Amino acid sequence: MKLYLDTSQPTVVIKLDERYYEWEAGRDLAKHLLKYIHDKLQENNKDWRDLESITFMSGPGSFTGLRIGATVVNTLANQLGIPLYNHRGEEVDLIMPEYGRPANITPPKK
């Protein structure tokens, strides 16, 4: 089973093969993303070990959403030993979020 994950917007998109799911995660993304994916796998009588590859929408988009999603897909792909792809279809060792603009880093106050 192939997993596609997009956490770049407030509405999370998950595809498991051709099955499409949307979830209004709000501020619960970090807390419930893995459970949500696992629940959808179970609805299809599958489990983590049934995943064959992961594709991630790496940006641009929400800074926090992309960081959380990238952490989840990087960890899953690594631990399951499966291929990881960015949204352009390029196989990568590690997803790096693409925020669409330079980081707005505040200089230290001291």
Domain ranges within the chain, ordered by starting residue: 2-92
- Greater pLDDT, 101 or 85: 85
- Across 73-90, average pLDDT: 96
Cα dist from 71 to 21, 34, 77, 92, whole Å: 20, 11, 10, 14
pLDDT score of 103: 64
Fold exhibited by the domain 2-92:
Nucleotidyltransferase; domain 5 (3.30.420)
Contact 69, 79 (CB under 8 A): no
Contact 80, 29 (CB under 8 A): no
Q: How confident is the model at residue 27 (pLDDT cuts 50, 70, 90)?
A: confident
Q: Which residue has the tokens 């399951």?
A: 80
pTM for the full model? 0.89
pLDDT score of 31: 94
Angle at 1 between CA 89 and CA 68, to 5 degrees: 60
Alpha helices in the chain (DSSP H): 29-43, 63-80
- Greater pLDDT, 33 or 62: 33
